[in-house]
Amino acid sequence: MDAELQADRAALADTVRRFAKIEIAPNVEAWDDAGEFPRALYTRAAELGLLGLGYPEALGGTPASYSLKLPAWIALARHGKSGGVLASLFSHNIGLPPVVLHASDAVRHEVVPAVLRGEKIAALAITEPGGGSDVAALRTTAKRDSDHYVLNGEKTFITSGMRADWITVAVRTGEGRGAGGISMLLVPGDAPGLSRTRLAKMGWLCSDTATLHFDNVRVPARYLLGDEGSGFRIIMSNFNGERIGIAAASLGFAQACLDEALAWSRERKTFGAALIEHQAVRHKLVDMQMRIASTEAWLEAVSAEGDAHEAAGRFNAPEWVAQVCMLKNHATQTMQFCADQAVQILGGMGFMRGTVSERIYREVKVMMIGGGAEEIMKELAARQLGWL
Catalytic residue positions, numbered = 242
What angle in degrees, to the nearest 10, is found between the helix axes of 279-311 and 231-267? Answer: 150
Establish how many alpha carbons lie within 13 A of residue 178's alpha carbon, considering only the half-sphere containing its beta carbon: 4
- Enclosing H/E stretch for 195: strand 194-198
Q: C-alpha angle with apex 328: 305 to 230, nearest 5 degrees?
A: 75
Please tell me the distance from the alpha carbon of residue 218 to that of residue 326, in angstroms, as a whole number: 40
* 19: Cα separation from own chain's centroid: 19
Burial 66-100 (b: 16+ CB within 10 A, else e): bbbbbbbbbbbbbbbbbbbbbbbbbbbbbbbbbbb
Q: Which residues are registered as beta bridge partners of 168?
A: 124, 186
CA 334 → CA 17, 240, 253, 277, 341, distances in Å? Answer: 22, 19, 9, 24, 11
Tell me the pairing of strands 210-220 and 224-225: unpaired
Please tell me the distance from the alpha carbon of residue 24 to that of residue 40, in angstroms, as a whole number: 12
Q: What is the distance between the terminal CA atoms of the chain, rounded to a whole angstrom? A: 36
Q: Which residues are registered as beta bridge partners of 153?
A: 214
Instruction: Classify residue 163 as exposed, middle or buried by CB count within 10 Å of its CB (0-12, 13-18, 19+).
Output: middle
Instruction: Classify residue 274 as exposed, middle or buried by CB count within 10 Å of its CB (0-12, 13-18, 19+).
Output: middle
Please tell me the distance from the alpha carbon of residue 376 to that of residue 247, in angstroms, as a whole number: 16
Please tell me the distance from the alpha carbon of residue 281 to that of residue 261, in angstroms, as a whole number: 10
Taking alpha carbons only, the member of 268, 195, 184, 263 closest to residue 230 is 184
Instruction: Classify residue 213 as exposed, middle or buried by CB count within 10 Å of its CB (0-12, 13-18, 19+).
Output: middle
